[in-house]
Amino acid sequence: MMSVIPGSQDLYLFHEGSLFQSYKVMGAHFTEHEGVRGVRFTVWAPHAREVRVIGDFNFWNGSGHVMNRVSTWGVWSLFVPGVKDGEYYKYEIVTTHGTLVWKADPYAFYSELKPGTASRIYELNGYEWKDQAWQAGKQQHSSYNRPMNIYEVHMGTWKKKAEGEYYTYRELADELIDYVAHMGYTHIELMPLAEHPYDRSWGYQATGYYAVTSRFGTPKDFMYFVDRCHQTGIGVIMDWVPGHFVKDDHGLRQFDGQPLYEYNDPQRAEKPEWGTLSFDFTKPEVISFLISNALFWLDMFHIDGLRVDAVASLLYLNFGKPREQWIRNAHGGDENPEAIEFLKKLNQTVFAQYPQVLMMAEDSSDWPLVTAPVYAGGLGFNYKWNMGWMNDMLKYMEMDPLFRKGSHNLLTFSFMYTYSENYVLPLSHDEVVHGKKSLLNKMPGDYWQKFANLRVLYGYMMGHPGKKLLFMGGEFGQFDEWKDLEDLEWEMLGYDSHRGMQYYVRDLNHLYLQEKALWELDHQQEGFSWIDADDSSQSITSFIRKSSDPDDFLIIVCNFTPVTHIGFRIGVPRAGEYIERFNSDIPVYGGSGQMNTGPLKTETFSWHYQPYSVRMTIPPLATVILKPSKLRRKASTAKRERG
């Protein structure tokens, strides 16, 4: 049973910045005192003259529920008997100037449905998880040499009911998870689910870091969603936003009448690009709050990983600020040393408790060693979004194919650094909003060519080393950019081209799952070699992806022009026969049907610095994947075993 007063050791660790389960101490928790059941409320408000608890249970009059200051550095606590599950509450804070502010609980587990802003009492414990097999399996495999193909989802707009109402967590568990599994994805990445007041912030400007949004149901409903994902073999990654928070009055801004969670200096606190405030990483209590929050989602909701948003905005003091507002650190630099130390401490702490967790940095900067361990001088993440690859590829794909030959380096430059970090290749929501157009509508050419261009982009992405991420709607070629108040254009599946695109992505995803060469050595140079990186005149690239089995490899050929090549010679590393394992140009996908229908037999004619070569058909705007004949591979294996 929880003590009626927070323990002195917990308070010491909280103020030291190392109470990493502070959500078990702070906030509202059911307990008993002298045989009476009630709730212990605990909040950090060091500048407050007085703090009161107000809520349904006292008719929003806190005069009888004045909290006790239980630490020198400003923690307040009070046991209130008779409070029931689901009741609403806030903190009424008397500032040093005698004014009153009303704040939601920073550690609340549940919030009033918008537009309400109160916190709700909620018993978070008691859900019976059924994902034991998933959790056990996760400990047996490193993610580095496993497939990872992520479907990024905004729950409020993936699909809506006829009346425009949201699907609940439990309804999405039935609709979304089966769809993701059918499409061949390994993970769902959820855009931020921490409670937030404004739908069009997409969750990135939060008020309730410990409260999964009530838009779609209760915290236990969300637990059910995650549980069902795991039972279906789908991992769950959640966007997490430690860089900034929203300014709404009931949130963290000037929580006790003065800057508390944010920097005292407005120049350091303000994020003018987003109209938000930065967390103050010099305050130990803020470190306890944030690292505990990361662990909270892993502890209580069994989340498999966190995609840490806007890491560059933490690393640099002047990120997104006009030059006239620039400031410098004590050494005259642009770096934010406290935030850098926070990121290192975050990753060290999380990995100490969850060695197989996914900690992904969404970092648009060129900061070195983002995915290197802290002891090796890194930030300690295990994955980083490859924003350079994404920008180069989209710039290239938006060009008319006639002019692509002059920018061939955009296709190949990423291989100069692809092994410098453990990368995820993202085609995320950020690329299909704010007038940027949908992925399909970025593609040049006529209607047919748009779809063909998108197919070759996806094929090249699947062949490129690195884990994969695609935003919802991209799998069926959503034509309009993402509308953050409407659901996806599911009606487009009534048209052959969009339905063919969905078939294509489904089959490409399942091919990815089946072929170890596409993921087992993602982060090792031994897993990749060029056949021809320099055919800029024809805008064709060809390369080999390899697994740990020397006989298990794929040859990937991508044609970025609408020209068909018959009898095209390509170098191959082994003699024998090659079969067409995959072709983006088959008619069911909407292609023109240019295929390699029979085995391709090698010739003892060296080409592309390879000892052998084959002649093949390369379709227009297409990806073709060749694989050594199985019979040939078996013969090679038998010969090797005979010695």
Q: Read off the pLDDT band of 83 (50, 70, 90).
A: very high
pLDDT of residue 634: 45
CA angle 391, 395, 400 (to 5 degrees): 165
Residues 624-631, mean pLDDT to the nearest whole number: 86
Q: Is the pLDDT of residue 410 over 50?
A: yes
For residue 637, count CB atoms less than 10 angstroms from its CB and return exposed for 0-12, middle for 13-18, buried for 19 or more: middle
Residues 152-161, mean pLDDT to the nearest whole number: 96
Residue 330 and residue 405: Cα distance in Å, rounded? 48
* CA atoms 438, 441, 442, 448: torsion sign: positive
Q: Is the pLDDT of residue 343 over 70?
A: yes
pLDDT in tens, 496-516: 999 999 999 999 999 999 999
- E strands present in 316-439: 358-361, 383-385, 423-427
CA contacts within 13 A on the Cβ side of 460: 29
362 is catalytic: yes
Q: Which two tokens stand for residue 467?
A: 């884990």
Q: Read off the pLDDT band of 639 (50, 70, 90).
A: very low
For residue 66, give the DSSP letter. Answer: B
Per the residue annotation, which of 105, 152, 285, 362 is the catalytic one?
362
pLDDT of residue 39: 97
Residue 199 and residue 176: Cα distance in Å, rounded? 20
- Closest of 210, 170, 165, 173 to residue 192, by C-alpha: 210
pLDDT of residue 1: 63
- Beta bridge partner(s), residue 94: 50, 100
**Amino acid identity for residue 305 in this structure:** G
pLDDT of residue 167: 97
Residues 519-531, mean pLDDT to the nearest whole number: 97
Residue ranges covered by each domain of the chain:
8-120, 525-642
The mean of the pLDDT values for the chain is 95
Q: Read off the pLDDT band of 5 (50, 70, 90).
A: confident
pLDDT in tens, 487-500: 999 999 999 999 99
Q: Is the pLDDT of residue 635 over 60?
A: no
491 is catalytic: no
pLDDT in tens, 40-57: 999 999 999 999 999 999
pLDDT of residue 10: 97
166-202 per-residue burial string, b: 16 or more CB within 10 A, e: under 16: bbbbbbbbeebbebbeebbbbbbbbbbbbbbbeeebb
- Closest of 299, 298, 305, 287 to residue 346, by C-alpha: 287
Strands 383-385 and 119-120: unpaired
Residue 619 and residue 580: Cα distance in Å, rounded? 12
Residue 158 and residue 567: Cα distance in Å, rounded? 44
Q: What share of the chain is helix, strand, coil (3-state, %, to 5)?
A: 35, 25, 40
pLDDT above 70 as % of the chain: 98
Q: Is the pLDDT of residue 421 over 50?
A: yes
> Any idea which residue has 């690859």 for tokens?
389
pLDDT in tens, 232-241: 999 999 999 9
Asked if 150 and 470 touch (Cβ cutoff 8 Å), the reply is: yes
- Closest of 195, 161, 190, 191 to residue 175, by C-alpha: 161
pLDDT in tens, 446-483: 999 999 999 999 999 999 999 999 999 999 999 999 99
Residue 303 and residue 575: Cα distance in Å, rounded? 47
pLDDT of residue 304: 98
Please give the class, per CATH, of domain 8-120.
Answer: mainly beta
pLDDT of residue 643: 35
Q: Which two tokens stand for residue 20?
A: 């990493």
Cα 424 to chain centroid, rounded:
10
Instruction: Give the containing element (helix H, strand E) for 454.
Output: helix 447-463
**Amino acid identity for residue 2 in this structure:** M
pLDDT in tens, 254-310: 999 999 999 999 999 999 999 999 999 999 999 999 999 999 999 999 999 999 999
pLDDT of residue 2: 76
Q: Residue 615, Cβ neighbours under 10 Å: how many?
A: 17
pLDDT of residue 642: 34
3-state secondary structure of 335: strand
Residue 81 and residue 20: Cα distance in Å, rounded? 28
Per the residue annotation, which of 92, 309, 392, 481 is the catalytic one?
309
Residues 392-418, mean pLDDT to the nearest whole number: 97
Please give the class, per CATH, of domain 525-642.
Answer: mainly beta
| pTM for this prediction | 0.95
Q: Is the pLDDT of residue 81 over 90?
A: yes
Q: Is the pLDDT of residue 613 over 50?
A: yes
* Alpha helices in 91-218, H assignment, sequence order: 132-140, 155-158, 169-183
Q: Is the pLDDT of residue 227 over 50?
A: yes
The yes-or-no answer to whether 8-120 and 525-642 have a common fold is yes
**Amino acid identity for residue 1 in this structure:** M
Residue 26 and residue 13: Cα distance in Å, rounded? 12
Asked if 514 and 139 touch (Cβ cutoff 8 Å), the reply is: no
